[in-house]
Amino acid sequence: MVNIQLLEQEMKRKNVSNADIAAALNIDISTWSRKKARPMGIKIGEVEQISALLKLSKNKAKSIFLPSDSQKCE
């Protein structure tokens, strides 16, 4: 499950708006708002784009976009 609260904290810290995220994903801001409301609909490619826009470290991206109980595939 996506941690929207952490995502919004990073957006605020980096001065990135919802409109900036929507533009980076090439979607309407209303579509981005729906995705945030139902974050299971955020695709891996979108996660990568958001992570790049926010310049997230791998650990920070994991803490935002992966459930805490997820495991690495070996």
For 25-50, the pLDDT digits (tens) are: 999 999 999 999 998 889 999 999 99
Q: Is the pLDDT of residue 51 over 60?
A: yes
How many percent of the chain have pLDDT more than 90? 82
Q: Which fold has domain 4-64?
A: 434 Repressor (Amino-terminal Domain) (1.10.260)
**Contact at 8 Å (CB) between 33 and 58?**
no
| Domain locations in the chain as residue ranges | 4-64
Is the predicted pLDDT of residue 1 greater than 60, yes or no? Answer: yes
Please give the angle made by the CA atoms of 18, 21 and 27, to the nearest 5 degrees. 100
- pLDDT value at residue 8: 97
- Is residue 35 within 8 Å of 42, Cβ to Cβ? yes
